[in-house]
Structure 1
Amino acid sequence: MTTAKARREEIYHLAVTTGLASVEELSRHFAVTASTIRRDLAQLNEQGKLARTYGGAVALGAHPEPSLRQRTGEAFEQKQAIAAWAAAEVKEGESILLDGGSTVGAMAHALRDRENLSVTTPGINTLQELADSPGIQVDCLGGRLRELSQTFVGPIAEAALERMSFDRVFLGADAVTVDAGLCEADQAQTRLKELMARRGNTVYVLADSTKLGKRPFHAWVRLPAPWILVTDNRADPEQVELFRQSGVTVQLVDLAPAQAA
């Protein structure tokens, strides 16, 4: 039988490595009551190891939010392949909404030479990519600038969305899980993503395989089906099947053999 000390050490290990599941899931995992798990989380919080959140906890300092520049260099081949596939989905004459983030920014780069497009975005990197594209009308969702993500958020951006609709919406995420949805470091970002998803006829989530099933932060948005998860062919088959069983369409983008090995 697992001792309380060993259980708490494993809970902390989960928070540091993959992020914590909900109290209910932890209760089932350790075969103890939810109140026992809450006491474990409370003690870890008192020790300064975890920060309490609604329904669970996250490790303090275990998952510092990387800057946009740092994220751009991570999983580079996967992001480029996903971005190219997503850009090919966009048709001439469409109005699209591009989220912030490194993968969606790579998609914007792939659209630079397109004609007769309307692009709206809260992301500074997308604005920079498309600023000199004569065939693309660019609109910016203004608001409060988050320095780390280089994305505008807040009530000004949210209010602007109420006057718009789009053929396609492309969202990024720090992580994606079947049960909780899209994960971000900041609740203002998840709130904006929720509103963005409501404004599109077709919604895509661009997330490389390293982001599936992870819980690095504590801000979440659950997207109503149907939506399309675009990831790469390194994705865990079990994760892919879980998403498909939940009603999500999963598009696996092939990488070159040398990259996928």
Structure 2
Amino acid sequence: MTVKNDRFSAIRQRLYKSGYSTIQEIAYAVSASPAIIRRDLLVLEQQGFISRNHGGAQIAEDAGGEVAFAIREQHNLAAKRYIAEAAFARLKPGSAIFLDAGTTVLQLARRIRLNPLPLSIFTNCVTLAQLLMDVGELKITLLGGRLRPENASMVGSLAEAALDRLRFEQLFMGAGAIAEDNCVYTQDEEEARLNEKMLSRATKVTLLVDSSKFGQRSTYKVARLNDEMDVITDQNLPESWTLKLQETGCRVQQVAKKNECYPGHPG
């Protein structure tokens, strides 16, 4: 990513989190001169991300969902990339896999794009399908359904019906939250139903979850952790949670950095 793109991302995050900000406030937050920020804001306004007014800027009214997704993708980015690297090592050429709409799973898709291998990939994530659609080694199938803007995913009865006709060897799924009751949760009812259906159609399930998601709770339960699931997470997961996961029967891989596993856990 270029310095300019890094700055664009920082500006979008600043405005999404803080609301309206002056040029001076933005310049201080991203360590750039007011002149540079004025030029950046003009570009971001032309792209539809922000609107400028009264010597400052704010997120454009119709861009909130897209920016929120971009911010979630950047959160704990290094950990997500390490997790994606470990997941990539589990891919089997020629297999059929499902990649859900989680931001950590999107990092796996970015890793696949770097080193493609022949795969049939099913997904309900529009962003992920667009990322991989021109990679010749891949066969991409995007589920139909209702578009959920918050994470560019397809959900609803049409997507669920499509899964009834599918069976895939590997499912790589993220999690909005994993609560103290050892259950996976999400904030959307339709997404919860679709994720539950994904789990029933996969031979092997691997959850890609960075450590910040553990000990959290959202509204709708997806499923209880069990001995048919693998979990790949990062080294910052507390030992108490590692033990809890092992008690559920989950196979846990804690990734410390690229191609290295946390001591005492399978590679």
TM-score, with length taken from structure 1: 0.70
Q: Distance in 1 between matches of 2:182 and 2:142?
A: 29
Deviation by residue 1:146-181 (Cα, 9 ceiling, x = unmatched): 111110000000000011101100111111135251
Q: Is residue 110 of structure 2 the alignment partner of residue 104 of structure 1?
A: no
Q: Is the 8 A contact 1:178 1:246 kept in 2?
A: no
* Residue in 2 that maps onto 1:84: 85
* Residue in 1 that maps onto 2:211: 209
Q: Is the 8 A contact 1:194 1:223 kept in 2?
A: no
Q: 1:168 aligns with which of 154, 167, 170?
A: 170
**Pairwise CA distance, 1:97:** 0.3
Question: Which shows bigger deviation, 194-203 or 179-188?
Answer: 179-188
Matches within 5 A, 1:50-65: none
Q: Distance in 2 between matches of 1:133 and 1:140?
A: 15
Matches within 5 A, 1:68-217: 68-112=69-113, 113-177=115-179, 179-215=181-217, 217=218
Q: Distance in 2 between matches of 1:250 and 1:178?
A: 17
SS at match of 1:148: helix
Task: Give the count of matched residue pairs.
Answer: 193
Output the aligned Cα RMSD.
Answer: 1.9
**Pairwise CA distance, 1:92:** 0.5
Q: Is the 8 A contact 2:148 2:155 kept in 1?
A: yes
Q: Distance in 1 between matches of 2:224 and 2:132?
A: 28
Q: Is the 8 A contact 1:181 1:220 kept in 2?
A: yes
Deviation by residue 1:86-108 (Cα, 9 ceiling, x = unmatched): 11110111100000021111101
**Pairwise CA distance, 1:209:** 0.6
Amino acid at match of 2:98: L
Identity of aligned residues (%): 32
Q: Distance in 2 between matches of 1:148 and 1:138?
A: 22
Q: Is the 8 A contact 2:225 2:248 kept in 1?
A: no
Q: Is the 8 A contact 1:168 1:202 kept in 2?
A: yes
Matches within 5 A, 1:4-15: none
**Pairwise CA distance, 1:115:** 2.6
Q: Unpaired segments of 5 or more residues in structure 2? A: 1-64, 263-267
**Pairwise CA distance, 1:251:** 1.0
Q: Distance in 2 between matches of 1:224 and 1:162?
A: 22
Amino acid at match of 2:163: L
Deviation by residue 1:59-111 (Cα, 9 ceiling, x = unmatched): xxxxxx98211101100100011011111110111100000021111101111
Amino acid at match of 2:256: D
Q: Distance in 2 between matches of 1:243 and 1:250?
A: 7
Q: Distance in 1 between matches of 2:224 and 2:163?
A: 17
Q: Distance in 2 between matches of 1:77 and 1:247?
A: 27
Q: Is the 8 A contact 1:180 1:221 kept in 2?
A: no
Large movers: runs of 4+ above 4 Å? none
Q: Distance in 2 between matches of 1:250 and 1:185?
A: 25
Deviation by residue 1:105-161 (Cα, 9 ceiling, x = unmatched): 110111123232100000012112211100000001110011111100000000000
* Residue in 1 that maps onto 2:10: none
Amino acid at match of 1:92: P
* Residue in 2 that maps onto 1:233: 235
SS at match of 1:222: strand
Q: Unpaired segments of 5 or more residues in structure 1? A: 1-64
